[in-house]
Structure 1
Amino acid sequence: MSNELVTIQPGELKFPFKLKQQSLCSFQLINNTDNYLVFKVKTTSTKKYAVRPNRGVVLPKATCNVTVTMQAPKEAPPGMQCKDRFLVQSVIAPSGATVKDITSDMFNKEPCRVIEENKLRVLYVAPPQFPSTILESSEEGPAQKEVTGYMSSDVSSFTPVSKDLNELKEKLFESQAKISKFTEEKSAALQQKQKLEQELVRSENKALIKRSNHERARLGFPFLFVCFIGIVGIILGYYFHS
């Protein structure tokens, strides 16, 4: 999903759906401009989802990772269809803006302000299904036992894979959370660096102005003194010649 200010990837939020178990999903917000951008994420079901970060600053041409956590569902919706929606609002901010500078007024619609809005829909994705173990009974015939043994061995071969997939998913979610945290820290560090550079430039300018004023004052005093001596000499000359 690409617009003038930002590009959001992916354009949909896909959550692995499992009863009584939380699930995570993430998306990237890419700044397409050479300006600072601030963003805010809204949802139609605030109690159902947790968004981190739900607002933030994206540096020029930079990317911000947003992680969304869905609370453990107690029941499946009809047809596995979800009506929840997310809205990502983006607006140009002053250079050097930080998260502390974000206010609600920034997202108020005004004639001279461009607020870009991107809507994301939520999709439920069924987790992978594996064959269940068929218990072998004493009354089963040879053919049924053969099928049962095949299914049982099939399950045993898939069980470690399922476990590994879950571990990989957990590691992936942890990595995404760490990347999001590192991105925020990098953004804060760059903003702090820019502020320090601006303060250094202002300090140097003040020092140059102060030095210039001092030089002018130092050079102006001898000139005034010479003028004063000259005026006194003219007065004395006139007095002695009169």
Structure 2
Amino acid sequence: MNKQLLEIQPKELKFIFELKKQSSCSVRLTNNTHHYVAFKVKTTSPKKYCVRPNVGIILPKSTCDFNVTMQAQAVAPPDMVCKDKFLIQSTVVPVGTTDEDITASMFAKDDGRYIQENKLRVILISPPNSPVLSPINGVLKQGPTYESSSLKDPVFSKFEILTPPHTVRESFCP
């Protein structure tokens, strides 16, 4: 069997990157086959991301969404280029298989089993409407031209009001 088991949308993981704030995106897996399909999500940077759920069973002609959360980062990568990647593996499993039945051996290629593999790259996006604060060399700087205009211009004062005083870091992954 050498056909597409899962359709994956989107093809790239796009995160709005703001220093010291976590960001999430969602991926939809669509099983267009008449088989039960198990999936597993892997990443090149497991400490940086949280994937929920990272394994699962998708029933025939069904969809499943999983969320990827990038943990808060203290520094921006050079030129906002991220080299992290995700691998989604999928394989046909027997009817009635549940999420609890999924094992690492189901995704082993050595037993002749067909494993579909799809790679997704990570794209970092600057937040919209962020002229006041921007990372420069990984450090958050505030330019003097914006400081003076924020005092006079009511539009920029609104940005100051909306800025959270302190963010409590929460982890959505146990």
Tell me which interval the TM-score lies in, with the shorter structure as reference length: 0.7 to 0.9
Separation in 1 of the partners of 2:130 and 2:73?
22
The unaligned stretches of length 5 or more in structure 1 are 137-147, 167-176, 178-242
Query: Are the aligned partners of 1:16 and 1:127 in contact in 2 as well (CA < 8 Å)?
Result: yes
| Residue aligned with 1:100, SS | helix
Alignment-derived partner of residue 97 in structure 1: 97
Query: Are the aligned partners of 1:86 and 1:120 in contact in 2 as well (CA < 8 Å)?
Result: yes
Higher strand share: 2
Offset, 1:111:
5.7
TM-score (norm 1): 0.56
TM-aligned CA distance change 1:52 to 1:154, over 3 Å: same
Alignment-derived partner of residue 71 in structure 1: 71
| Residue aligned with 1:19, SS | coil
Separation in 2 of the partners of 1:48 and 1:101?
27
Q: Quick one: higher RCO (CA 8 Å, sep 6+), 1 or 2?
A: 2
Partner of residue 148 from structure 2, selected from 135, 148, 167: 135
Amino acid at match of 2:105: D
- Post-superposition, which runs of at least 4 consecutive aligned residues in structure 1 deviate over 6 A? none
| Residues 219-239 of structure 1 deviation map (CA, whole Å, 9 limit, x = unaligned) | xxxxxxxxxxxxxxxxxxxxx
Alignment-derived partner of residue 53 in structure 1: 53
Alignment-derived partner of residue 116 in structure 1: 116
Larger Rg computed on CA atoms: 1
Alignment-derived partner of residue 29 in structure 2: 29
Alignment of 1:1-242 (within 5 A): 4-110=4-110, 112-132=112-132, 134-135=147-148, 149=152, 152-156=153-157, 159=159
TM-aligned CA distance change 1:130 to 1:80, over 3 Å: closer
Alpha carbon RMSD of aligned pairs, Å? 2.4
TM-score (norm 2): 0.77
Aligned length: 148
Separation in 1 of the partners of 2:148 and 2:90?
57
What is the aligned-residue identity percentage?
52
| Residue aligned with 2:30, SS | strand
Separation in 1 of the partners of 2:131 and 2:92?
52
Offset, 1:25:
1.1
Offset, 1:38:
0.3
| Residues 16-46 of structure 1 deviation map (CA, whole Å, 9 limit, x = unaligned) | 1011111111110110101100000000001
Higher helix share: 1
The unaligned stretches of length 5 or more in structure 2 are 133-145, 165-171
Offset, 1:135:
3.1
